Amino acid sequence: MKELAEHADGINRLMARFGVKFGIYKNDEFHEQLFPFDAIPRVIFPRGFPASGERADSES
Q: Evaluate whether residue 1 is within a structural domain.
A: yes
Domain extent at residue 3: 1-48
Q: Which residues contact 19 (CB under 8 A, 6 or more apart)?
A: 34, 35, 37
Q: Evaluate whether residue 44 is within a structural domain.
A: yes
Can you give the pLDDT at residue 7?
A: 84
Instruction: Tell me the whole-structure pTM to 2 decimals.
Output: 0.44
Q: Evaluate whether residue 15 is within a structural domain.
A: yes
For the chain, give the mean pLDDT.
79
Mean pLDDT of 18-37: 87
Can you give the pLDDT at residue 60?
A: 47
With a pLDDT cut of 70, the percent of the chain lying above it is: 85
Q: Is the per-residue pLDDT at 20 higher than 70?
A: yes
Q: Is the per-residue pLDDT at 58 higher than 60?
A: no
Total domain count for the chain?
A: 1
Q: Evaluate whether residue 60 is within a structural domain.
A: no
- At position 39, the amino acid (one-letter code) is A
